[in-house]
């Protein structure tokens, strides 16, 4: 079992050590330790209900951890007030099912909330305007958030996250209910964010689709039976025995000729022996 595979040299953005988490008596995560380097797209995989979302939520205090430690930029999140943490970590929920009518512009402006003392300043408006420009959201800016499509909403949430100026982006199944175009659009945006060398950010993304993870992620973290099953590059992490053991299916592994990343072709559910 691979516990940790970080290169020496650059300081990790996120360090999780010996994290345990349970909802009441039900154990969800056990002895989770890993580190995330700058400019890294980490896909968190695992079957349904395995604690992908739980892990993501442990990293920004949505879930209060009692055992283990999470450090962001070498600072334990236990010591950080929620407002300070929001300047370092931005979280994009799976979907925001709201009927609350608020302009897209104001949703993105909420990203500046951790920095506000009393009211919105000129610099905050400028940042929001630039994020809108970069993500090409001009035509939505003054529409109501809840009237947008799922993909558009997700993009607005990414814009809001960028406005928070974080070092770590957390995504909880960002593409799970989106059409094909939006899936690739959103993941490309995330990939763009973390590959930007001018800004040492990383993204930790809970995902469903193994092939999308293989295509976009730099590292794959698989959670199985409450533990980290493996944490490695896609080409090493995604092999026939892993797929069989974690997902319970027989598969063949093809190779993407362009990028060399593995493509998983599921053949059949694994036969009981």
Footprint of other proteins (CB under 8 A): 57, 60-62, 81-87, 89-93, 96, 98-103, 105-107, 110-111, 113-114, 116, 118, 123, 125-134, 138, 141-142, 144-146, 160, 162-165, 170, 192-193, 195-196, 198-199, 201
Instruction: For residue 207, give every residue at least 6 positions away whose Cβ sits within 8 Å of its Cβ, in sequence order, or none.
Output: 43, 44, 45, 52, 173, 175, 213, 217
Q: Which CB sits closer to other proteins, 21 or 229?
A: 21
d(CA 138, CA 159): 12
Q: How far is the CB of 99 from other proteins (least distance, A)?
A: 5
DSSP state of 272: P
Q: How far is the CB of 54 from other proteins (least distance, A)?
A: 12
Q: Which CB sits closer to other proteins, 45 or 86?
A: 86
Q: Closest Cα to residue 47, out of 245, 185, 267, 273?
A: 245
Q: Which CB sits closer to other proteins, 36 or 162?
A: 162
Q: Which CB sits closer to other proteins, 133 or 225?
A: 133
Q: How far is the CB of 2 from other proteins (least distance, A)?
A: 29
Q: How far is the CB of 84 from other proteins (least distance, A)?
A: 8
Contact at 8 Å (CB) between 264 and 214?
yes
Q: Which CB sits closer to other proteins, 133 or 252?
A: 133
Contact at 8 Å (CB) between 40 and 200?
no
Q: Which CB sits closer to other proteins, 3 or 130?
A: 130
Q: How far is the CB of 60 from other proteins (least distance, A)?
A: 6
Instruction: For residue 184, give every residue at least 6 positions away whose Cβ sits within 8 Å of its Cβ, in sequence order, or none.
Output: none
Q: Which CB sits closer to other proteins, 163 or 246?
A: 163
**Three-state DSSP state, 155:** helix
Q: How far is the CB of 196 from other proteins (least distance, A)?
A: 5
Burial of 69 per CB tally in 10 Å (0-12, 13-18, 19+):
middle
Beta strands per DSSP E along the chain: 14-23, 26-36, 41-45, 67-72, 75-76, 89-92, 168-172, 202-206, 219-224, 227-232, 249-255, 262-269
Largest CA distance in the chain: 66
Q: How far is the CB of 71 from other proteins (least distance, A)?
A: 18
């Amino acid at each position: 079992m691979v516990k940790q595979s970080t290169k020496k040299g650059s300081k990790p953005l996120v360090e999780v050590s010996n994290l345990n988490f349970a909802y009441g008596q039900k154990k969800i995560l056990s002895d989770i330790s890993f580190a995330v380097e700058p400019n890294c797209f980490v896909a968190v995989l695992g079957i349904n209900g395995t604690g992908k979302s739980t892990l993501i939520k442990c990293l920004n205090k949505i879930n209060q951890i009692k055992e283990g430690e999470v450090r962001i930029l070498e600072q334990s999140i236990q010591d950080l007030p929620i407002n300070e943490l929001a300047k370092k970590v931005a979280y994009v929920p799976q979907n925001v099912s709201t009927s609350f009518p608020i302009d897209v512009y104001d949703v993105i402006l909420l990203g500046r909330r951790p920095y506000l003392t009393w009211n919105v300043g000129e610099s905050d408006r400028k940042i929001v305007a630039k994020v809108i420009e970069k993500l090409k959201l001009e035509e939505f800016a003054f529409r109501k958030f809840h009237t947008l499509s799922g993909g558009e909403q997700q993009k607005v949430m990414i814009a809001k996250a960028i406005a928070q100026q974080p070092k770590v982006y957390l995504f909880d199944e960002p593409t799970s209910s989106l059409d094909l175009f939006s899936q690739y659009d959103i993941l490309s945006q995330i990939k763009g964010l973390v590959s930007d060398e001018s800004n040492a950010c990383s993204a930790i993304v809970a995902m469903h689709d193994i092939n999308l993870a293989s295509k976009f992620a730099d590292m794959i973290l698989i959670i199985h039976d409450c533990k980290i099953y493996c944490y490695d590059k896609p080409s090493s992490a995604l092999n026939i025995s892993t797929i069989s053991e974690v997902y319970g299916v027989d598969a063949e592994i093809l190779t993407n000729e362009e990028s060399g990343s593995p493509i998983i072709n599921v053949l059949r559910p694994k036969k009981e022996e």
